[in-house]
Amino acid sequence: MNENRRPIIIGVTGGSGSGKTTVSKAIYDNLNGQSIQIITQDTYYNDQADMTMAERKAVNYDHPLAFDSDLLYEQLNQLRHNQAVNMPVYNYEEYTRSTETVRVEPQDVIILEGILILDDERLRSLMDIKVYVDTDDDIRIIRRIQRDIQERGRSLDSVINQYLATVKPMYHQFVEPTKRYADLIVPEGGENRVAIDLLSTKVRDILVKRGHTNLG
């Protein structure tokens, strides 16, 4: 493979509800016309088909061991070498991986988004740009409540209990410390247009240097 033509990989991380998805989509929109793919770390939660529902609900989903990081690294590396992959699909209502997969073709730009993507040294080694979205705790819990109830079929009590039991302590133990690996720290997430515009400009610059064309 021509190393100069390999995809650019952007890692976007931060606590749950920090605005990672908003930042990722804003970069996506800014690079309109470019071939681009957003991949979420949540897709790579472990396959728990052999566990009971009670066991699945008891899993700490904010711990590094909740993710199949080996598969994520393997598939991200394949995409980096311009090879297509069959990406897993996670079923939030069943708390386990679906039997379906999604075919993902190589793109010029890959945005990897997730709470613990900078925790794994192997994943960090594949990234060209590492971004940490930094948002106050109270804003993040409000966003998480809204998202999990509206999009993931959870009850208010379950969201609050999970936040207090695992999300908050795991954030301070595992997520926040990875801020030191970031090339760019973005306060206020998707509201920070200056940071998003700077990121998009940097991505275009790297793409041009690697010989990519059709830049929007």
* Triad 15, 119, 89: Cα angle to 5°: 70
**Cα–Cα distance, 133 to 184 (Å, whole number):** 9
190 is in an annotated binding site: no
Check: CB of residue 9 under 8 Å from CB of residue 128.
Answer: yes
Provide φ and ψ at 63, rounded to 5°.
-105, 145
d(CA 59, CA 91): 15
Q: Please tell me whether 211 is known to bind a ligand.
A: no
The two three-digit tokens of residue 107, written as one number: 């793109």
17 is in an annotated binding site: yes
**CB-CB contact of 37 with 7 (8 Å):** no
Distance separating alpha carbons of residues 138 and 214, to the nearest angstrom: 41
For residue 18, say whether it is annotated as part of any ligand binding site: yes
**216 in a known ligand binding site:** no
The verdict on whether residue 14 carries a ligand-binding annotation is: yes
- The amino acid occupying position 47 is D
Contact 45, 210 (CB under 8 A): no
Asked whether residue 35 is marked as a ligand-binding residue, the answer is no
Helix axes of 193-209 and 20-30: crossing angle, nearest 10 degrees: 50
200 is known to lie in a ligand binding site: no
Distance CA 73, CA 78 (A): 9
Residue 200, classed as helix, strand or coil, is helix
Which residues make up each annotated binding site? 14-21
Which residues make up each annotated binding site for ATP? 14-21
